Amino acid sequence: MTSDMIIITTPSIPGYKIKKIKGVVDLTARTRDIGGKFIAGLQSIVGGEVSAYTTETHKAREEAIRRMCEEAQKIGANAVIGLDIETTEISQGIVLISATGAAVVVETEEK
């Protein structure tokens, strides 16, 4: 992610005016490695958080947002509004993280 890209889950950004709207969708598929499966198996026996999966899901989420921002920048956007992140297991061991939002061009509102 870049420091100058505004990313927000709401449909507007306080203090900014939307000048142009462009749609952006990107995703990433991740597999669980053998070590992660083994650790997760052990953790599931004792209960609680399965940190091996939490770590991988976090990495995939960050990657999906980064890719979405890169695509938004390629089409001239400087912000993404309405960010939605979804996680789906598409088959055993493969998790799909989807980052969807509207790429927009915004500018500061005049006072």
Digit-coded pLDDT (tens) for 47-97:
666 676 777 778 888 888 888 899 999 999 999 999 998 888 777 667 778
**Apex CA 64: angle with CA 59 and CA 67, to 5°?**
125
This prediction's pTM: 0.74
Q: What is the DSSP letter of 15?
A: T
CATH of domain 6-108: 3.30.110.70
Euclidean distance between CA atoms 31 and 75, whole angstroms: 30
For residues 35 and 27, what is the distance between their CA atoms, to the nearest angstrom?
24
Does pLDDT of 13 surpass 90? yes
Cα separation, 81 vs 66, in Å, equals: 14
Q: Is the dihedral of CA 60, 61, 62, 67 positive or negative?
A: positive
DSSP secondary structure letters along 65-97: HHHHHHHHHHTT-SEEEEEEEEEEEEETTEEEE
Listed range (32-46, 52-66, 94-108) with the worst mean pLDDT? 32-46
Q: How confident is the model at residue 34 (pLDDT cuts 50, 70, 90)?
A: very low
Q: Flag the least confident range among 6-10, 32-36, 71-75, 82-86.
A: 32-36
